[in-house]
Structure 1
Amino acid sequence: MGLSLSKRVVNTLQTSPEFDSACTTVFADCLSLSQQAFAGVRSYQLFSATERLHAILFHTVPLVSRWVPDPPGRIQVDQALKAVISRRTGGEEKITLDEAQFKEFEVEVFAEAVVSMAGKEVLKSVPLGVVGIAGFGAVVKPGKDLVAAAIGAYALGVVTSIYFSLGK
C-alpha cells in the first residue's frame, strides 16, 4: 500500500482531537494502574493499553471503526514499540514511554493496523471485480482492449476509493 498511505493515516490520527483525548485518557489510566510508580507507561502495559484505546477509538474515530475491527495484536504492538524505540536515544533498558512517546507509539500501532487492513481489502476486492468483468467480457465479447480497460479502471477505482477513505 506504500508510504503515502501510511503518511496519510498517521496525519489523520495525529490531527484527530478524539485520538489525542483517548491517548491522554489511556495514558492517565496506565499511570493510575501502576500507582504512579513510573514516570510513564512501561512496555508490559502497552498491549492492554492498546486494547483499551481501541475500545474508545472504535466508537469515536471513523478511521478505526472502518479499518480496525479488532484491537491490534501483540505482534503489531511489539513492532510499533521497536519502531518508536529506534527513533529515540538511550537504548532499550527499562523502557518507559512519556505521554508524547505513548501517543507516538499508539499512532504507529493504529496506522500500521489501518494500512494493513486496507491492503487486505485491496487484495480481496480487486480479484473479485476482475473476475466479474472478465466473465462479463466472455459472455458479451466486446473485445480484449475494452475488457482490459474496464479491468484497469475498476482496479484503479478500488484503490482510489480505499485511498480516500483513509483520510478525514
Structure 2
Amino acid sequence: MGLGASKRVNNSLRNSSQFNSACDSAFTHCLSLTQHAYDGVLPYQLKTASDHIHTLLLSDTNPHPLIHKWVATPPDRSQVDSALRRVNHRGETLGSAPFKDWAHELYTDAVVAGAGKALMLRVPVGVAGIVGIGALARPAPVVIGSFVGAYSLGVGISIFLGLSA
C-alpha cells in the first residue's frame, strides 16, 4: 500500500482515544501480571499485550473501525517481534511511552497488511470478471483495458480512503 497509507493509519491510531485507552489498559494488565515487579512490560509479554489490545478494540460496543475492518485476528509473534525491533528497544522493559510506540507500529503494520491483502484479492477477481465479460461481449481490447484500469484504480482509491478512522 505504501508510505502514504502507513502515515494515514498511524495518524488515525495516534489520534484515537479508543486505541490509546486500549494501550493503557494492556500496559496496566501486563504490569499486574508481573505483580508490578518491573517498571514496564517485558518483551515476552508483548504477544499477550497485543492480544489484549485486539480484544479490547473489538469487544467494545463500538469497535475501532480500522481494527474491525482490516485486522480480523491479533498480530502473530513475528509481527510483534518485528515491531519491537523497529521501535529500537534497547532496555529490558518497555515503559509506557515506548510501549505505545510499539503498539502503534504493530497495529499500523497490521492494518496496512490487511488492506494490502484485500487489494490483492479484489483486483484480480474483478479483472477476471471484466475480462470474462469482455470475452463474451467482444468489445475492442482498448475498451477492456480501460475498464480494467478504471476498476483497479477505483478499488485502490476505495481501500486507501478506508484507511482512516
TM norm structure 1: 0.93
Alignment match, 1:29: 29
Aligned length: 162
CA contact (8 A) 1:129 1:154 kept: yes
Alignment match, 1:16: 16
Name which of 74, 78, 87 aligns with 1:75: 78
Q: 1:44 Cα shift?
A: 1.0
Which is worse superposed, 137-146 or 72-81?
A: 137-146
Identity %: 45
| Structure 2: unaligned runs, 5 residues or longer | none
Question: Within 2, Cα distance between the matches of 1:18 and 1:95?
Answer: 28
1:109 aligns with 2:106: yes
Question: Within 2, Cα distance between the matches of 1:37 and 1:11?
Answer: 33
Q: 1:35 Cα shift?
A: 1.1
Alignment match, 2:160: 163
Q: 1:95 Cα shift?
A: 2.3
Alignment match, 1:45: 45
| Structure 1: unaligned runs, 5 residues or longer | none
Question: Within 2, Cα distance between the matches of 1:149 and 1:53?
Answer: 43
CA contact (8 A) 1:58 1:69 kept: no
Q: 1:103 Cα shift?
A: 0.8
Q: 1:71 Cα shift?
A: 0.5
Deviations along 1:74-121, one digit per CA (max 9) or x if unpaired, are 000000000012xx6xxx3x5211111111101111111111111111
CA contact (8 A) 1:23 1:53 kept: yes
The amino acid of 2:28's aligned partner reads: A
Deviations along 1:111-164, one digit per CA (max 9) or x if unpaired, are 111111111111111011111101111111121111100000000011111101
Name which of 121, 124, 149 aligns with 2:121: 124
- After TM superposition, where is structure 1 displaced by more than 3 Å over at least 4 residues in a row? none
Question: Within 2, Cα distance between the matches of 1:138 and 1:69?
Answer: 36
Question: Within 2, Cα distance between the matches of 1:56 and 1:114?
Answer: 16
Deviations along 1:27-66, one digit per CA (max 9) or x if unpaired, are 1111111111111111111010100110011232110011
TM norm structure 2: 0.95
